[in-house]
């Protein structure tokens, strides 16, 4: 997952198909554990070795991302929350609720912002469909988010490929890409945990201030 480069190189001419399938699935088909970010960065970095042009990789990633979101929206619109359970391993109700809250906060912009956050980019189109967000508004936000993410990440990868330091430390760079992608999730988790602890202290009558015991 941290370094999809060898995987892509082993596929030869089928690498483009793998990129399309993985990006499509991760974009809204309820399987959020695929390396979309690092995959596109790797494809951009290794486009010469793969025998592919950067515009072609970016175009395939863009089309697959748009199509994946369309499927996610349709699933959410038709099935809503019926597929989710609180004790499920992947389709957890809590994950959907968190994504719905994210969508409610940012509206259509969530389709752009969520593209750059693992897990969120898989569930945002589903939340949009479940919330009956108008399809005519969904489409332009979907296209914009897919373009900025798929094209942007691929182009950045191709530009980084020209730097000797990046070429010599590919695994480290891709690990950083994944860590940066996951960082918003970690921050949100820590924020919620802090808020929960404060609430628990308030409910039990324990003052969270360090000087409370001395007063």
The DSSP line for 73-137 is: HHHHHHHTTTT-BTT-SSSBHHHHHHHHHHHHHHGGGHHHHGGGSTTHHHHHHHHHHHTT--HHH
- Give the model's pLDDT for residue 208: 47
Q: Please tell me the least confidently modeled range out of 6-10, 100-104, 111-115, 153-157.
A: 100-104
Phi, psi of 179 (to 5 degrees): -65, -40
In this prediction the pTM is: 0.72
Rounded to an integer, the average pLDDT of 97-116 is 78
- Give the model's pLDDT for residue 109: 82
The yes-or-no verdict on residue 17 having pLDDT over 80 is yes
Beta-carbon count within 10 A of 51 CB: 11
The yes-or-no verdict on residue 104 having pLDDT over 90 is no
* Alpha-carbon torsion, ordered 110, 95, 121, 197, to 10 deg: 60
- Give the model's pLDDT for residue 24: 92
Phi, psi of 92 (to 5 degrees): -80, 135
pLDDT in tens, 20-59: 998 998 887 766 566 677 788 888 888 888 888 999 999 9
Instruction: Name the residue with higher pLDDT: 127 or 73.
Output: 73
pLDDT in tens, 118-160: 777 888 888 888 878 889 989 999 999 999 999 998 998 888 7
- Give the model's pLDDT for residue 93: 75
- Give the model's pLDDT for residue 62: 95
- Give the model's pLDDT for residue 97: 76
């Amino acid at each position: 997952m941290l370094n999809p480069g060898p995987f892509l190189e082993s596929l030869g001419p089928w690498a483009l198909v793998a990129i399309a399938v993985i990006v499509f699935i991760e974009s809204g088909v309820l399987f959020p554990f695929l390396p979309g970010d690092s995959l596109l960065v790797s494809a951009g970095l290794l486009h010469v070795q793969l025998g592919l042009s950067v515009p072609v990789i970016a175009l395939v990633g863009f089309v697959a991302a748009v199509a994946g979101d369309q499927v996610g929206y349709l699933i959410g619109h038709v099935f809503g929350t019926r597929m989710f359970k609180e004790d499920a391993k992947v389709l957890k109700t809590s994950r959907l609720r968190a994504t719905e809250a994210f969508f409610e906060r940012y509206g259509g912009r969530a389709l752009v912002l969520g593209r750059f956050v693992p897990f969120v980019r898989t569930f945002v189109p589903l939340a949009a469909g479940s919330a009956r967000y108008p399809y005519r508004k969904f489409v332009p936000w979907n296209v914009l988010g897919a373009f900025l993410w798929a094209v942007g990440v691929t182009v950045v990868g191709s530009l980084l490929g020209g730097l000797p330091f990046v070429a010599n430390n590919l695994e480290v760079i891709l690990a950083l890409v994944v860590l940066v992608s996951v960082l918003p999730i970690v921050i949100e988790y820590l924020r919620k945990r802090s808020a929960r602890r404060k609430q628990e202290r308030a409910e039990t009558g324990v003052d969270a201030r360090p000087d409370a015991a001395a007063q």
